Amino acid sequence: MRPLVLIILVVACNIGSTRIYAQPTAVRVHDPVMAKHKGTYYLFATGRGIAVWSSTDLTEWKRESPVFNAPPAWTIAAVPTFKGHFWAPDISYHNGQYYLYYSVSAFGKNTSCIGLATNVTLDPEDPRFEWKDRGKIIQSYPGITNWNAIDPNVVEDDAGTAYLSFGSFWGGLKMIQLAPNRMAVVGDTLQLPTIASRIAGSGASNPPATAANPKDAGGNAIEAPFIFKKKDYYYLFASIDYCCKGLESTYKMIVGRSTQATGPYVDDHGTPLASGGGKLLLAGDERWQGVGHNSVYTFDGEDYLIFHGYDGDDNGVSKLRIARLAWDEHGWPELIN
């Protein structure tokens, strides 16, 4: 397949008085994450078998074979309606191998699991290249867990302990410690701390779903946690409001920070993200009807925000967007050209 080429176009939108820029690409993706391996960027995204792309310059992208040719047997046993369309992966490197966490779910229900696959290389031409599925890491259950086991992200604290954050709607974003090998969770899997929610106050209940949205999920429209360490702070990025509606999408990105990987995370006004706080990082504009499900990386000394947006010039198709991040005088992230 011929590689898709970046559209050489800079799109501006406004948040307050700040002009925000991000380059759109022709790559159609949801929920992009990225890693750089031996000079090549590898992009993983929602898709059948987990979609994979590669690029040497963040400009021209080549479609690679998916991670899975067929879904692991355990995924169908755990989620009987699952057909192999994996959601929202997360890629990280630890102890000589890449860890790819991924989501298995029934749409609109918290019949969901987070699984893990590992590989010693991301280069499909390397003779060692082989994705090994490590099975289920954690599962959510309707009527038992008030959280949804999707949208995983791993963060390591300064002591080397790894934590898995995840969640979508229901009771908000959750966190649990990972075992040293990162292939299992540690501790109670039913009562998990909330690190972010749109519900103001821990005693409040999940508001009802709005419009035609799934009733089971409720109206706590927050998902896709991603935690990034910068200097003295851990920054929790999350997406609020609604994705996946094309031209009707209202996705936005918020951010909070903490001196500890486990939180509590607060916004620029000191409001806890667990109680409805969150500093707005990026919202949609006249062309991009919704932007979100971001990841953040440092490549060659530059910080990047990777996310998807719904293109109003292309009937609301979801596309990869890449922007550089700067940090203001108070240490908060902002997008730059």
Task: Give residue for tokens 């909070």.
Answer: 256
Alpha carbons 227 and 13: distance in angstroms, whole number: 25
Q: Residue 133: which H helix or E strand, with range?
A: strand 132-140
Tracing tokens 């029934």 back to the chain, one arrives at 106
**Rounded to whole angstroms, how far apart are CA atoms 191 and 254?**
25
Do residues 152 and 91 lie in contact, with contact meaning Cβ atoms separated by under 8 Å? no
Q: List residues with catalytic annotation.
A: 31, 223
CA angle centred on 17, ends 12 and 19, rounded to 5°: 20
Q: Which of 210, 310, 329, 297 is nearest to 34 (CA)?
A: 297
**Strand partners of residue 94:** 97
Element containing residue 8 per DSSP (H, E): none
Distant-in-sequence, close-in-space partners of 186: CB < 8 Å, separation ≥ 6: 176, 177, 178, 179
3-state DSSP assignment of residue 190: coil
Dihedral class, residue 315 (left if φ above 0, else alpha if ψ from -120 to 50, else beta): left
Q: Is the peptide bond before 264 cis (omega within 30 degrees of 0)?
A: yes
Mapped to the 3 state alphabet, what secondary structure does 98-143 carry? EEEEEEEECCCCCCEEEEEEEECCCCCCCCCCCCEEEEEEEEECCC
Tokens 């700067």 -> residue: 326
Angular region, 166: left φ>0, alpha ψ -120 to 50, beta rest: beta
Q: Supply 321's token pair.
A: 């967007």
| Residue 74, token pair as written in the block | 């355990």
Q: Give CA–CA dist 154/205, Å, rounded.
A: 28
